[in-house]
Amino acid sequence: MKTFTCTCKDHQLLFFESSYCVACHRTVGLDDTFDKVEPYELAPETGQYFKVAQPNVYFQKCDNHANFKTCNGMIKLNPSSPSTAKHEVLCFACRFNETIPDLSIAEHIPLWQKMEIAKRRALYTLKALSLPLHNLSQDPDGGLSFDFTTDRDVSDHFASQLKGSEAVFTGHDCGHITINLAEADDVARSHTKMAMGEQYRTLLGHFRHELGHYYFDKLILESPEKHTLSKKYFGDDELDYQKSLNTYYENGAPQNWRDAFISEYATMHPYEDWAETWAHYMHIIDTLETAQNFSITSSIAGNTDAHEELTDLNLPQDAYFFSSQASITSILDTWMDFSIILNSLNRSMGMNDAYPFVLTQTVRTKLSFIHHAIHGRLNRMPELMLKGE
> Would you tell me which residues interact with Zn ion (CB under 5 A)?
6, 8, 12, 21, 23-24, 62, 64, 71, 73, 91, 94, 272, 275
User: What CA–CA distance (Å, rounded) separates 20 from 168?
Assistant: 35
Beta carbon of residue 24, minimum distance to Zn ion (angstroms, whole number): 3
Phi and psi for 216 in degrees, rounded to 5? Answer: -65, -45
Beta carbon of residue 209, minimum distance to Zn ion (angstroms, whole number): 5
Beta carbon of residue 84, minimum distance to Zn ion (angstroms, whole number): 14
- 358 burial level (CB within 10 Å; 0-12, 13-18, 19+): exposed
Q: Provide the terminal-to-terminal Cα distance of the chain, rounded to the nearest Å.
A: 33
Query: Between residues 275 and 291, which has the closer beta carbon with respect to Zn ion?
Result: 275
Among 231, 209, 208, CA closest to 221: 231
Phi and psi for 236 in degrees, rounded to 5? Answer: -80, 105
Query: Between residues 11 and 380, which has the closer beta carbon with respect to Zn ion?
Result: 11
User: What CA–CA distance (Å, rounded) separates 135 from 154?
Assistant: 29
Q: Are 282 and 122 in contact (CB under 8 A)?
A: yes
Q: Are 289 and 275 in contact (CB under 8 A)?
A: no
Q: Residue 135: beta bridge partners?
A: 144
Beta carbon of residue 248, minimum distance to Zn ion (angstroms, whole number): 12
- 298 burial level (CB within 10 Å; 0-12, 13-18, 19+): middle
User: What CA–CA distance (Å, rounded) separates 304 from 228?
Assistant: 41
Query: Between residues 269 and 292, which has the closer beta carbon with respect to Zn ion?
Result: 269
Query: Between residues 96 and 369, which has the closer beta carbon with respect to Zn ion?
Result: 96
Beta carbon of residue 64, minimum distance to Zn ion (angstroms, whole number): 4
Beta carbon of residue 75, minimum distance to Zn ion (angstroms, whole number): 8
DSSP state of 184: G
Query: Between residues 92 and 321, which has the closer beta carbon with respect to Zn ion?
Result: 92
Q: Are 84 and 77 in contact (CB under 8 A)?
A: yes
Query: Between residues 183 and 333, which has the closer beta carbon with respect to Zn ion?
Result: 183
* CB-facing half-sphere around the CA of 191: CA atoms within 13 A: 11
Our CA dihedral for 303, 306, 312, 316, rounded to 10 degrees, sits at: -120
Let me know the angle formed at the C-alpha of 171 by 167 and 174, rounded to the nearest 5 degrees.
Answer: 110
Beta carbon of residue 323, minimum distance to Zn ion (angstroms, whole number): 31
User: What CA–CA distance (Å, rounded) separates 346 from 364?
Assistant: 24
Query: Between residues 4 and 338, which has the closer beta carbon with respect to Zn ion?
Result: 4
Beta carbon of residue 267, minimum distance to Zn ion (angstroms, whole number): 12
Among 63, 3, 59, CA closest to 31: 59
DSSP state of 161: B
Query: Between residues 43 and 187, which has the closer beta carbon with respect to Zn ion?
Result: 43
Query: Between residues 233 and 265, which has the closer beta carbon with respect to Zn ion?
Result: 265
User: What CA–CA distance (Å, rounded) separates 105 from 281?
Assistant: 36
Query: Between residues 6 and 126, which has the closer beta carbon with respect to Zn ion?
Result: 6
Beta carbon of residue 233, minimum distance to Zn ion (angstroms, whole number): 17
Handedness of CA 101, 103, 104, 109 (dihedral sign): positive
Beta carbon of residue 263, minimum distance to Zn ion (angstroms, whole number): 11
